[in-house]
Amino acid sequence: MTFETENGALVCRRMGETLRIEPWGRDSFRVRASMLPKLTGNDWALTETVEKCDAQITIGKEDHWVGDGTIDKKEIATIVNGRLKAVVNFAGVISFYRDHKLILREYFRNYDGTLSRESRCLKLVNREWKGVIGGSEYALNVKFESDKKEKIFGMGQYQQDCLDLKGCVLELAQRNSQISVPFAVSSLGYGFLWNNPAVGRVSFGKNYTEWIARATKEMDYWITAADTPKQILENYTAVTGRAEMFPEDLMGLWQCKLRYRTQDEVLSVARQYRKEGIKIDQIVIDFFHWTVQGDWKFDEKYWPDPKAMVDELHEMGIKVIVSVWPSVDRKSENFGPMMERGLLIRTERGAAQTYDYQGDCVEIDPFNPETRKYVWDVCKKNYYDYGIDAFWLDNSEPDYGVYDFENYRYFDGPALAVSNLYPQLYSRTFYEGMCEEKKGTVVNLLRCAWAGSQKYGNVVWSGDVPSTFEAFADQLQCGLNMGLAGIPWWTTDIGGFMTDDVNDPDFRQLLIRWYQFAVYSPVLRMHGDRGPYNIPPLDDRDWGGGYLHTGQPNELWSYGEDNYAIMKKYYDVRISMHDYIKKLYEEAHENGSPLLRTMFYEFPDDEKCWDAEDQYMFGSRFLAAPILHLNEWNRSVYLPAGKWKLTSTGEVFEGGCTVNVDAPIDYMPVFERMD
C-alpha cells in the first residue's frame, strides 16, 4: 500500500485499487475506492455543500508481526476530522475511531493481515472486486467486523417486525412497500451511508457486516460520529439535504379512496365534508381517471371540466392531488414518441415490456433529463394548468412486472448499477418543474424514496400493505426506521390498503386503531382499496375512467355512527395539535429530526428505550402507545424518567417504570411529557 495526500484527502493505492478518504462535513468522512483509472465523480446522495474541514493526515510506520516471530515495519496512514479518525494499514484495511475508541473496522482474514493471527487461511478480504463479464462494472463486496452488542436502525422501510436491524439481511432494492434508504444509525455512536444506488444486499450479521453491490464502478460510503442519534441525523441531513418547511394547510386530514371515478364523486364527497363541519386539507384523485396509462390526462367522459372542479374545491379550502403513474401503455398517444426518442426503460433481452397491470406497458426513464422534461410538459398542460396542486407519484419504485433488475437499462447505465435512485429522479421530474412555477412549497406523494429524497418535496407512504393487525404493527417500525434514515414526511394507508370486507367488525376495529396512530403521525391520510367489489363499472369499455372497479366508500362517516364519532373525536385532537405539529415540521427542516421518533431518539441514555419497539415519541412531547392487536383493551407502557400525564384521565405518573393503562376502542394510550 502506498499513501499520499491530495487536496486534503488521504489517497491509498494497492493492487490496482485507488482508495480515497476525505473529510465530508462535521466529524465525518467520505470513503471511495475504485479499480478503474479514476473515480466517477458522482455525488449520489451527497448533494449539499459542506464547510471545508481541515483534516490532519499522518503517514508513518507500525510494527507488523511477520509470522516467524519477528517484527517488521509497515506503512500506516491516519486521517482525523474532528472526533472521527480513520486508520489505514499496509493491507488497505480501514479502522474508524470516535474520540480514539474503535467504532468500526473492515473485516480481513488473509495471509498478509495485521489485525488477527487467526483464520488467515480463509483468504477473505475487506473489499472484494469481481468484474462483471462484458461490462465496465464490478460486483463489490465490502465487509466490516461486527459488534454483537451493537443495535442498528434506519435503512428505510422493510415489511417486517424488526426495529433493531442487527441480525437482519436486507435487499438493497426498491419494491412496492419496500424502500431502500441505505443509511444506518448505530448504537455505538456513528451513522453510515452506503452512498451507492446499485441493487444489492446488506447483512448485519453477528459475525460480520457485509455490503454487496451487484454492479458498480466504485465503492462509496460516508460515515459520521456523534454522541446521540439526533446529532447523527443532523450531521447526515447536513450533507444529504433536509425537507423544506411543510405547508400549514396540509397538516390536517387528507381524503382518499380507491377510487373516485368522476368529478361529481369528488365534489359530492367534498361538499359532504363541508356539511359535516370537517375541514379536509387535500382530496386525492387516484388512478384510472385517465384514458390509458401514459396519456396523463383526464378521461373527458367522466371529468368534463377539471378546472371548474378544482376551482370549487379551492373555494372550499381544499387542495387537489392527482395520481400519475410512470407506465406508458402501447396504446398511449405518448408511447410512440417516447419510445422513438429513447425516453423509456430499455430491456436487455426479450420484448420491450416492464409492467403489465391493465395494459402492455413500458415505464419512463427519469435518468434521462429529456424524459423528465417531456413528462412534466404533458402533466403541466393536462393537470397543473387546471390548478391541480400536487401529484401522487404512484408505482415509483418502479413497480416492475418481474423484478429482474439485470434485464433493465436506464439512460445512466444498467439497472443493477443505479436502479435504487429511480424514485428520487421520478420525484424530481415534478419537483423541478413545480419549483420553476414558484407557487409555494412542493409536496408530492410517493411510494418510494432513496437517500436524499427528503429534499425533493416527498411525502412517502408505506405502500400497498394488507389490512391486518400484523401489517399495522410492521408499519410502526417502518415509520420509525424511515425517520432515522432521514425521511421525515411519512404516512400510511389508514386501515391498510387491501380490505376484503368493510363490514367485518374486526376490520373496523383495525381501522380505528390505525386511525388513532395516524393522528399522531406526520400525515393523516384516509386511503384504501375497500371490498367487497360489488359496485358495477360505469361502462363496458376496456379502457378509460369507467371500466375499472372502485372500492367501497372510505370517508369518515362510512363505517357507522359509533366509529364516526371516534374518528371525529380524534380529528379534533389532530387539529388541536396544529401548532405543535408545525414545530415538529420546523425541526425536520432545521436539523433533520423525524416527527415519528424512536424512544431512544429522545432518551439516548436510557437503555430500556433502545429495546422499546411497540411505542414511540411523536416529537419530544407525546409518548404514543398504539394498540397493535385485535381485542386488546389495555397494554403496558414504559415511561422514561420524568413526569408523564395520561391524556385520557390527566393522571400524572413518575417515570422510570412500566405502567399498565386501559385502552377502550375510543382511546389509544398517549402520555404527555411534563418536564
Residue 356 is among the residues annotated as catalytic for this protein: no
Q: How far apart are the C-alpha atoms of 589 and 597, rounded to whole Å? A: 15
Contacts with 132 (C-beta within 8 Å, 6 or more apart), sequence order:
138, 139, 215
Contacts with 49 (C-beta within 8 Å, 6 or more apart), sequence order:
none
Note whether 363 and 371 are within 8 A (CB).
Answer: no
Note whether 264 and 289 are within 8 A (CB).
Answer: no
Residue 464 is among the residues annotated as catalytic for this protein: yes
Residue 27 is among the residues annotated as catalytic for this protein: no
Note whether 137 and 105 are within 8 A (CB).
Answer: no
Q: With residue 382 as reference, give the H or E element that holds it.
A: helix 369-382
Contacts with 536 (C-beta within 8 Å, 6 or more apart), sequence order:
none
Note whether 327 and 359 are within 8 A (CB).
Answer: yes
Q: How far apart are the C-alpha atoms of 495 and 502, rounded to whole Å? A: 10
Cell of 538: 360505469
Cell of 646: 395520561
Note whether 387 and 361 are within 8 A (CB).
Answer: no
CA distances from 190 to 31, 222, 225, 236 (A): 15, 10, 4, 10
Q: How far apart are the C-alpha atoms of 54 and 69, rounded to whole Å? A: 40
Identify the residue whose cell numbers are 391493465.
Answer: 358
Is the previous residue joined to 398 through a cis bond, with omega within 30 degrees of 0?
A: yes
Catalytic pick among 397, 493, 529, 614: 397
Q: How far apart are the C-alpha atoms of 410 and 343, rounded to whole Å? A: 9
Residue type (1 letter), 609:
C
Query: How long, in residues, is the chain?
Result: 675
Q: What is the 3-state secondary structure (H, E, C) of 643-662?
A: EEEECCCCCEEECCEEEEEE
Catalytic pick among 145, 286, 295, 464: 464
Catalytic pick among 106, 295, 299, 394: 394
Nearest by Cα to 161 from 477, 445, 572: 477
Q: How far apart are the C-alpha atoms of 581 and 522, rounded to whole Å? A: 8
Q: How far apart are the C-alpha atoms of 60 and 274, rounded to whole Å? A: 74
Catalytic positions, written as ranges: 394, 397, 464
